[in-house]
Structure 1
């Protein structure tokens, strides 16, 4: 079985997510997957699929060079006790960056509500 066959689900997922510049090549018993995703969430989906195929990441037969497109965002749902600075710290961005990305929702950066879906810019 070739590595492309072994990781067919991962390659298919990358295609379905619209990974741009997707390149898949097999060299010296290693499968190299390169490309750019639209969001951090899409990148995580690829790692989740890889984790299903090789749960302990022991095969060491895949190198994924997947980057997130500049200006990409991750969606976050506000929970009780959250603040923009707390969310920003968790994602490695400033509260101001989150506020700027969500001005359509947030009128006062000191008042956010549980259940709101915020766009978190990538760091």
Structure 2
């Protein structure tokens, strides 16, 4: 039960954020957290909480197996001439920051996107 106390914030966030089929169990000094997140944003938020509790992941006392609901899979959009993140966001009914956050691996400067890039478009929250 000590691990559930240590990671209470993480478990509480999982419960509050709509994780379905949530299972939390302690076994052999490891806390297992399983379930399905409604979006990639929720999954990323849980990992951010874990990172805050154990920044270097050195304790190795948590196994988080959080999948993302298939319906939350992002759509893909290919950038065309004249596009910017705001314009693309309006097309999908989301903000430019959501597109930027979903594509940080590719976009270094949100004001500079290139024709031909394939961007992940997250589902509306």
Structure 1 distance, partners of 2:100, 2:29, is 41
Structure 2 distance, partners of 1:77, 1:57, is 26
Structure 2 distance, partners of 1:55, 1:19, is 23
Structure 2 counterpart of 1:68: 68
Structure 1 residues 37 and 84, CA, compared in 2 at 3 Å: closer, same or farther? farther
Structure 2 counterpart of 1:120: 122
TM-score, normalised by the number of residues in structure 1: 0.66
3-state SS, counterpart of residue 117 of structure 2: helix
3-state SS, counterpart of residue 56 of structure 2: coil
**C-alpha offsets along residues 96-122 of structure 1, whole Å, 9 cap, x if unaligned?**
xxxxxxxxxxxxxxxxxxxxxxx436x
CA RMSD in angstroms comes to 2.2
CA displacement at 1:84 relative to structure 2 = 7.2
**C-alpha offsets along residues 74-95 of structure 1, whole Å, 9 cap, x if unaligned?**
631493332574242xx4xxxx
Structure 2 counterpart of 1:86: 117
Structure 2 distance, partners of 1:71, 1:81, is 30
Structure 1 counterpart of 2:6: 6
TM-score, normalised by the number of residues in structure 2: 0.65
Unaligned 5+ residue runs, structure 1? 92-118
Residues paired across the two proteins, number: 92
